[in-house]
Structure 1
Amino acid sequence: MLDAKDLRFFSVVAASPSLAAAARALDVTPPAVSQRLAQMEARIGLHLVERGRGSLTLTAAGDALAQRAKRVLDEIEAINEEIFAHRNRISGPLHVIAPFGFGRVHVAPVLSKLVQDQPDVSLNLILSDAPYREIASSSWDLLIHVGRLRDSSHIQRKLATNRRLLCASPAYLEKWGTPAHPKDLSAHRCGVIREDLADVTMWNFSDAGGSEQSIRIRPNFASNDGEVVKSWALDHLGIVQRSEWNVAREIANGQLVQVLPDFRLPNADIVALLSPRTLRTARVDHALKLLVDAYASKPWSGAAVGED
């Protein structure tokens, strides 16, 4: 006989790439997961997981149970939502994935307010250097993404416009000069953030008249961490391309100077992807509203950056 706790446990196991990963998600030890799984299998007289090396593989019975468990748990969740809605309260788990930097500075405080207002929401925020890659391996409700998505079948909601800016320290520009046109960048030291498989050395510009041009730069410094690249720009190493949300304060206080302000790079807008499993739930709707309201005034903007 299986109960709801068994179904929740097995749903986590089924969604995990390994028993060790399931143990981390459940906040228990791997032996505890193995023991509980073995007890479940003994109770129902069926093997649910193939024992072997490599990634976790479900048996046919395990796959059928995982699919049925998902439907049952979704229905239980919907019942709870309806009950709490009648009491004008929001409840249930909220799993959010966000980029490290933006998530820490601008997503976490909004979610903190949500839980303060709605204490029956159980919050889990995962910060990642590549949030979109987490979709396949994580149970999630909202994914916050900064920048363009090449292709995605998920429903998206734009949260805020976010410009990409070129910037450098005043000391660097005093030493090396200030470029007046994108083609001048070939004579400058430039830094890039290497992420995913993007071609980060091709910088695409458009001017006020709508004319576009692409400049291939030769990086003098690079990192897979945006904060490191920004810190190097502050240390006068060269010109970098960063999101407005990340450098608006430094531009406003004079630590960095916007370079080529008459030319625009493609926006890296802040969007929310919605899981089809929970996109119409009250907790997701409430979280989206708080995020939209929080970013409506673009709290990271500095007067020196200008309007979009």
Structure 2
Amino acid sequence: MLHIADLRFLTALSSAPSLAAAARSLNVTPPAVSQRLAQIEARLHLRLVERGHGPLRLTAEGAFLIERSGTILGEIETLTEEMTTRAGRIEGPLHVIAPFGFGRLRLAPILSRFAGDNPELRPTLSLSEDPLGAMRAGPWDVLIHVGRLPDLRIVQRKLAANRRFLVAAPAYAARSGLPQSPVDIAAHRVAVVREDRADTTLWPLTGPDGTETSLRVHPVYACNDGEVIRGWALDGNGIVERSEWSVSEDLRAGRLIHVLPDWSLPDADIVALLNPRAVRAVRVDAFVDGLAAEISRNCR
């Protein structure tokens, strides 16, 4: 007879390159792993793992058992999630994916407070500028994205509106002046973020009369981290395009000023994507609700 603990043990064993590696992951000795495996095989009257040198290999029976174990363990986890949801408890794992800058500066403190208020929660925050890749890389519950995404046919919730601005430091404006029209930017120093596969050197601008233009800029500075770009702007190194959440406090304090304030860039709203394959647990909904409230209050 097999027990749930046996299925978890065999699943961990199957993902390890060797019995010794499995022992390390299970925090037991290699003889203990070998002994438990032998006991399970004896009960089933089947050999599940090929002994010998080299990487650990499953027999056909072992591979079949691992495949079925994945289904059974997944159903047990789902059932546990559903019962936790019925009880209204905020506990268990919460996997969140977010962009580097926004995740580090805005999301991480919110997640920390949420976990502090719910001590049975086990949060994981993964920072990535490749949301599609991050979604494929491992388990996730909520993905936070700033800006437009392709049609993923995934439930999205808008957390906050987020405008984009062209900004520069007063020191740069005093030294180099400011452009009066989009074409004037060609004579200025520009910094851009190079992230994802987006063409960040093409700035689509809309004028006060609705005139649209696509401005191709030739950056002097470039980085794949938006907060580095913001820092360069604060140092007076040139004109940058940044999200409202990133520079709102700098604009209020006068550390940065608007460039071409009558022209606008497309909005880059802050949205939460919910994993359609994950159980909509209470913890997910509670976190997203709290996140929306805090972002709307603090990111403007």
TM category (shorter chain) comes to: 0.7 to 0.9
Range 109-118 or range 5-14, more displaced: 5-14
Structure 2, unmatched stretches of 5+, are 42-46
Structure 1, unmatched stretches of 5+, are 302-308
Question: 2:140 — aligned with what?
Answer: 140
Structure 1 pair 261–94 and aligned structure 2 pair: CA distance change class (3 A): same
Report the Cα offset of residue 40 of structure 1: 8.0
Distance in 1 between residues matched to 2:200 and 2:11, nearest whole Å: 39
State the TM-score, normalizing by the size of structure 1: 0.78
Contact 1:205–1:265, Cα closer than 8 Å, also in 2: yes
Provide, for residues 176-223 of structure 1, a one-character-per-residue CA deviation record: whole Å limited to 9, x for no partner: 111122121111110111112211111101123333110101111111
Question: 2:243 — aligned with what?
Answer: 243
Structure 1 pair 282–175 and aligned structure 2 pair: CA distance change class (3 A): same
| Other structure's SS at 1:296 match | helix
State the TM-score, normalizing by the size of structure 2: 0.80
Structure 1 pair 31–120 and aligned structure 2 pair: CA distance change class (3 A): closer
Contact 2:129–2:196, Cα closer than 8 Å, also in 1: no
5 Å-filtered alignment, 1:35-184, equals: 43=40, 45-46=47-48, 68-85=68-85, 87-184=87-184
How many residues get paired? 289
Question: 2:299 — aligned with what?
Answer: 300
Q: Does 1:265 align with 2:281?
A: no
Provide, for residues 196-255 of structure 1, a one-character-per-residue CA deviation record: whole Å limited to 9, x for no partner: 221111110112333311010111111112122111111111001111111111111111
Structure 1 pair 165–69 and aligned structure 2 pair: CA distance change class (3 A): farther
- Report the AA paired with residue 288 of structure 2: L
Report the Cα offset of residue 65 of structure 1: 5.5
Distance in 1 between residues matched to 2:295 and 2:103, nearest whole Å: 13
Distance in 2 between residues matched to 1:185 and 1:230, nearest whole Å: 18
Distance in 2 between residues matched to 1:258 and 1:61, nearest whole Å: 67
Structure 1 pair 41–12 and aligned structure 2 pair: CA distance change class (3 A): closer
| Other structure's SS at 1:77 match | helix
Range 73-82 or range 261-270, more displaced: 73-82
- Report the AA paired with residue 48 of structure 2: L
Distance in 1 between residues matched to 2:127 and 2:162, nearest whole Å: 19
Contact 2:205–2:213, Cα closer than 8 Å, also in 1: yes
Provide, for residues 9-62 of structure 1, a one-character-per-residue CA deviation record: whole Å limited to 9, x for no partner: 776898x8x969xx9xx9x957979x69988876453359xx989xx9999877
Range 239-248 or range 118-127, more displaced: 118-127
Question: 2:44 — aligned with what?
Answer: none
- Report the AA paired with residue 261 of structure 2: P
Structure 1 pair 31–66 and aligned structure 2 pair: CA distance change class (3 A): closer
Distance in 1 between residues matched to 2:199 and 2:152, nearest whole Å: 19
| Other structure's SS at 1:205 match | strand
Instruction: State the identity %.
Output: 47
Structure 1 pair 111–40 and aligned structure 2 pair: CA distance change class (3 A): farther
Q: Which has the larger radius of gyration?
A: 2
